[in-house]
Structure 1
């Protein structure tokens, strides 16, 4: 099973939604990184369930435990193991789908692939697994902070409600001041009310999380197959419910001519190289060019809805799947720290890999 990511800064996650715990092993983190427990816990709290009435009401503190790799508040260079114990499982909520396949879930595909599946909350396919990624991503952020890199994600669209401003024209710190994590308070209010109305109908809605990485120096990225944008794409598409990824001008770039789309270089008064525009999204030839890296991640409507849906059971007979359990009507508010975590894991790995690209580094 593909439960590992990275080549130098590597992670391996484990555990199921209704198992005893979920966790992650981080290998390749350099020694001497200050292990800020409070920061890592705060990142997990941003992702945890039960934050508002527009998120799942499962109650998990998501408090993590460190098993290895940290001594006197710093990483030791050895594998770091962290676990998060599950405390509020309600496995009985899923007994009705033990032999049924929920539409647009991983039930059928897991059954076909493995011949067995843990139907309790989706087992390994549950988004609960992403808490382990957030813990590892928080550690990656601590490493990147020392390199001057900052990663900020926010909700830019829910259904048809979308921000009209570019990230440069927004105060991104405002995103953490509301339950939707949208940096425009007025639009955030509209999004909240819309998600809540969808929840009351027993339905779900999708959205977009935008992300910006600042302070990334030129030179990060490993051509040909490990291009920076390719690694970001793989990381984001590995997140549950993600249906699309675009960076820079993305699909809108096809509307432009090359003469307008090209990012012209110039040297500023400090002798630093910059581009006058940034349709490249901070990446050229798969390598960072020193400008802001920005991308967008599209999330589908949550597959579990509180409505009856037609399906089949494991014998191929027609079945009606009943909506039960505790689920998010819209995943994007809680996906913001997950997107940041995966971006941090990509950049941390490429940061360390870049140190071996030249003998003078």
Structure 2
């Protein structure tokens, strides 16, 4: 099964299944000399883990990370950094009833079409639990980016049709972790939580939009044709399960604007020519402009719902009514926040190394 590795000079390879013994990631391309501990990784895994709030699955997992290789005395050696998280609370028998029944909205049927079989225990590799490896790898990327003044953060800006007001970066940083839906607008967060609870009572789920921001970015990252920075970021975001759309800057609104409205005019600031506005979202021609990167992703509702849906018993080859049981998130965007941050960080760290702004082999001078 190819397709488990992402990146070029900085690469992550995730492995493991939702109900297997463990999950993890191998991060290749980490320069030697980076201070790195399990604590650096754990803080983001804690933000992603299940059972943390009323808007996440009740599956209880500590998701404690172990660094297996690539670090000596708290410093990276330049060798692959391998990390592991054991599954402790998997209840695989809860999925036996759907062994021959594909769940609507899931990859069940199409894994079977591709491989001739599937892991029905929680979805296997198609489960959102696969993102453990992405978050662990992204934590390493974030640590690297912090050395050059780049910060990546995300927040929920829409959930169940409730939209947050526009806030400053400082307001987002200050407020995003103060509520369970990870919305930096407190008033909107309350209404979002009401929508989550209403959907849960109906046996349903809701989707939303997550905005990802990268500040401190230098100009000049990205390749002009097939290695465009925004294309790589879009690929990273669309590779996350449940993401159905990506936009940058003003996004799809650009289709309703005139060129005179969309174009970012140039000005002189401290002796440098820079864009005055950021409609382009920090990238033009696939190359970073030096302004913050602004990306938004559309996240679909959780497909596992207890409402009755139509499916097929493939063993008996008959149509049936299906109610999905088990422990599932009533909404995905709040837990998507650290995942989206991580994938953005992986892309940016990769481009930083490829451009020579971070040493490809060692941080030691």
Q: Indicate the TM-score class for this superposition, using the shorter chain for normalisation.
A: over 0.9
- The CA deviation string for residues 328-353 of structure 1, in whole angstroms up to 9 with x for no partner, is 01001000000000000000001111
Is the CA contact 2:267–2:273 (under 8 Å) kept in the aligned structure 1? yes
Deviates more, 1:133-142 or 1:170-179: 170-179
Alpha-carbon offset, residue 322 of structure 1:
2.0
Task: Output the CA distance in 1 between the equivalents of 2:345 and 2:86.
Answer: 24
Output the CA distance in 2 between the equivalents of 1:169 and 1:254. Answer: 30
- Equivalent residue number for residue 330 of structure 2: 329
Report the Cα distance in structure 2 between the residues aligned to 1:234 and 1:274, rounded to whole angstroms.
27
| Structure 1 residue 284 corresponds to structure 2 residue 284 | yes
Which has the larger displacement, 301-310 or 201-210? 301-310
Moved >6 Å (runs of 4+): none
Normalised by the length of structure 2, the TM-score is: 0.95
Give distance in 1, aligned partners of 2:267 and 2:159: 37
Q: List per-residue Cα deviations over 1:215-264 (Å, max 9, x = no partner).
A: 01001112211111101111000111111000011100111111121111
User: d(CA) in 2 for partners of 1:197 and 1:26?
Assistant: 40
Aligned to 2:224: 223
| Secondary structure, aligned partner of 1:13 | strand
8 Å Cα contact 1:237-1:243 kept in structure 2? yes
Deviations 1:304-339 (A, max 9, x none): 001221111224321222220000010010000000
Does the CA-based 8 Å contact 1:309-1:320 persist in structure 2? yes
Separation (CA, whole Å) in 2 of partners of 1:340 and 1:169? 17
SS at 2:188's partner residue?
A: helix
Q: Distance in 1 between matches of 2:274 and 2:153?
A: 21
Question: Where does structure 1 lack aligned partners over 5 or more consecutive residues?
Answer: 357-361
Structure 2 Cα separation of the partners of residues 64 and 227 of structure 1: 33
The CA deviation at 1:166 is 4.9
Partners of 2:256 and 2:334 in 1: CA distance: 30
How far 1:201 moved relative to its partner?
A: 1.4
Distance (Å, rounded) in 2 between the aligned partners of 1:149 and 1:169: 15
Q: Give distance in 1, aligned partners of 2:38 and 2:291.
A: 31
Equivalent residue, structure 2, for 1:193: 194
Flag structure 2 segments of 5+ consecutive residues without an equivalent. Answer: 358-365
**Could you state the TM-score of these two structures normalised by the residue count of structure 1?**
0.96
Q: Distance in 1 between matches of 2:164 and 2:55?
A: 20
- Per-residue CA distance 1:177-209 (angstroms, 9 max, x = gap): 110000011111111121012112110000000
> Shift of residue 165 of structure 1?
1.6
Kept after mapping to 1: 8 A contact 2:38/2:66: no
Please give the alpha-carbon distance, in whole angstroms, between the structure 2 residues aligned to 1:266 and 1:166: 25
Instruction: Tell me how far apart the structure 2 counterparts of residues 195 and 204 of structure 1 sit (CA, whole Å).
Output: 7
CA contact (8 A) 2:212 2:294 kept: yes
Partner of 2:35: 34
SS at match of 1:325: coil
Is the 2:155–2:172 contact (alpha carbons within 8 Å) kept by the matching residues of 1? no
Q: Distance in 1 between matches of 2:39 and 2:173?
A: 22
